[in-house]
């Protein structure tokens, strides 16, 4: 962990939207450890990643506010007095964004608009970090994908996340509401939602590996991805929040090594013995598949010196350990 990413949080007031979710709770635990006064805001949207157990290690050392960001009034109160706001709340399922586009619009766009408006009115001095997604690029035209790649989302979620990025950047330019956008790639690790199939193939494969059910890989398995272990993403969020030069900008996260999906499954097989096979893509998944992806994160690395430190095999082993220890809360 870099010294810079841990500096400057003691005594700071921090609001984390989506703070009972996977990445938000991991960030909350780290910020409490660093001495920040943390409030997590979460609506516990049914079937997604919100889980009170996620903040169990720091339950008595942070404030939990169950509220929905679609409600502007609550936000206007909650943003007041916060030094830093990490905006992680969202509807994160690409498939669900096609089945229920209105929900995605409300959760990802309206909520984000409510947040920047609440800050403009009640706390214009706050600093915001928004977690967007590599899904805004759609099918890569060239690898690795840089921030200059055209944004041509293949699903409603990608469009709404892109709009939310623009709200943050517009308010940064127009009202000097300091905001930075990070485009996350496949993030995995302890506390992610693995109970159902809504939140990406890594969570599904982890559950299948834990249960010893056969893993079914859609397509040939040769499609490549970059993977970030959640602790590395937490460090990126902390660095983004404390690097002045980042505000007003958009950055990719990414990994120094990318892997075919089949290789990732082979690692799970070696770690658990789970059997696996490749099967044809179901039609609804094929529609929103982006083929190969890995991102160029050199701009963020240059701005902050961030580098992921946990390799895929190590990260999967740590994740399996966590989920075995806490089976009841996550998948059993």
Among 133, 235, 272, 304, binds ligand NAD (CB under 6 A): 133
29 is a contact residue toward ligand NAD (CB under 6 A)? no
Under DSSP, the state recorded for 307 is -
| 253 alpha carbon, distance to own chain's centre | 11
Which residues on adjacent β-strands are paired with residue 15?
Answer: 39, 85
- The structure tokens listed for 239 are 């660095």
Residues in contact with ligand NAD, shown as a per-residue x/- string from 86 to 125 under the rule CB under 6 A: --xxx-x--------------x---x--------------
As to burial, measured by CB atoms within 10 angstroms (0-12 exposed, 13-18 middle, 19+ buried), residue 232 is buried
HSE on the CB side for 113, CA within 13 Å? 9
If one asks whether residue 21 binds ligand NAD (CB under 6 A), the answer comes out as yes
Which residue, 92 or 250, has its beta carbon nearer to ligand NAD?
Answer: 92
Q: Which stretch binds ligand NAD (CB under 6 A): 8-16, 84-92, 307-315, 318-326?
A: 84-92
- Count of residues near ligand NAD by CB under 6 A: 31
Q: Is 160 in the site for ligand NAD (CB under 6 A)?
A: no
Collapse the DSSP code of 313 into the 3-class scheme (helix H, G, I; strand E, B; otherwise coil) and give the result. Answer: helix
Determine if 62 is a binding residue for ligand NAD (CB under 6 A).
no
**Which DSSP letter does residue 273 get?**
-
SS3 121: helix
Work out which of 82, 97, 112, 193 binds ligand NAD, going by CB under 6 A: 193
Q: Does 43 bind ligand NAD (CB under 6 A)?
A: yes
Shortest Å distance, C-beta 236 to ligand NAD: 11
User: What is the smallest separation between the CB atom of 131 and ligand NAD, expressed in angstroms?
Assistant: 4
CB of 142 to ligand NAD, least distance (A): 20
Reported as half-sphere exposure (CB side, CA atoms, 13 A), residue 212 has a value of: 1
Strand partners, 179: 128
Instruction: Name the residue among 199, 318, 219 with its Cα closest to residue 277.
Output: 219
For the bound state, the minimum distance from the C-beta of residue 15 to ligand NAD, rounded and expressed in Å, comes to 11
Rg of the chain in Å (alpha carbons)? 19
User: Which of 187, 243, 272, 319 touches ligand NAD (CB under 6 A)?
Assistant: 187
Q: How far is the CB of 186 from ligand NAD (least distance, A)?
A: 5
Which range of residues in 136-144, 145-153, 182-190, 285-293 is near ligand NAD by CB under 6 A?
182-190
**11-30 b/e (C-beta count within 10 Å ≥ 16 → b):** ebebbbbbbbbbbbbbbbbb
Interacting residues with ligand NAD (CB under 6 A): 17-18, 20-24, 41-45, 48-50, 68-70, 88-90, 92, 107, 111, 131, 133, 184, 186-187, 193, 200
């Amino acid at each position: 962990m870099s010294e810079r990413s841990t500096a400057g949080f003691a005594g700071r007031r921090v609001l984390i939207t989506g703070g009972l979710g996977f990445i938000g709770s991991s960030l909350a635990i780290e910020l409490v450890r660093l001495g920040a006064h943390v409030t997590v805001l979460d609506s516990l949207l049914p079937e997604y990643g919100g889980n009170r157990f996620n903040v169990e290690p720091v339950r008595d050392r942070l404030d939990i506010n169950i509220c929905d960001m679609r409600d502007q009034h609550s936000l206007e109160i909650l943003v007041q007095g916060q030094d830093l706001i990490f905006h992680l709340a969202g509807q994160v399922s690409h498939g669900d964004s096609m089945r229920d586009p209105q929900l995605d619009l409300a959760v990802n766009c309206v909520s984000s608009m409510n947040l920047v408006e609440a800050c403009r009115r009640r706390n214009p001095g706050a600093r915001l970090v928004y977690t967007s997604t590599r899904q805004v690029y759609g099918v890569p035209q060239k690898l690795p994908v840089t921030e200059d790649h055209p944004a041509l989302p293949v699903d409603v979620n990608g469009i709404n996340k892109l709009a939310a990025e623009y709200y943050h950047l517009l308010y940064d330019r127009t009202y000097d509401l300091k905001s930075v956008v990070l485009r996350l790639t496949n993030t995995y690790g302890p506390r992610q939602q693995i109970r159902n199939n809504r939140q990406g193939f890594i969570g599904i494969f982890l559950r299948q590996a834990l249960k010893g059910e056969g893993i079914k890989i859609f397509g040939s398995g040769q499609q490549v991805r970059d993977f970030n272990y959640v602790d590395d993403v937490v460090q990126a969020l902390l660095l983004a929040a404390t690097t002045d030069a980042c505000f007003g900008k958009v950055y990719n996260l990414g990994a120094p090594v990318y892997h075919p999906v089949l290789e990732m499954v082979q690692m799970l097989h070696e770690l658990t013995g789970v059997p696996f096979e490749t099967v044809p893509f179901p039609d609804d998944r094929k529609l929103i598949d982006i083929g190969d992806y890995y991102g160029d994160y050199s701009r963020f690395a240059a701005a902050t010196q961030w580098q992921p430190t946990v390799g895929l095999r190590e990260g999967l082993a740590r994740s399996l350990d966590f989920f075995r220890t806490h089976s009841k809360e996550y998948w059993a």
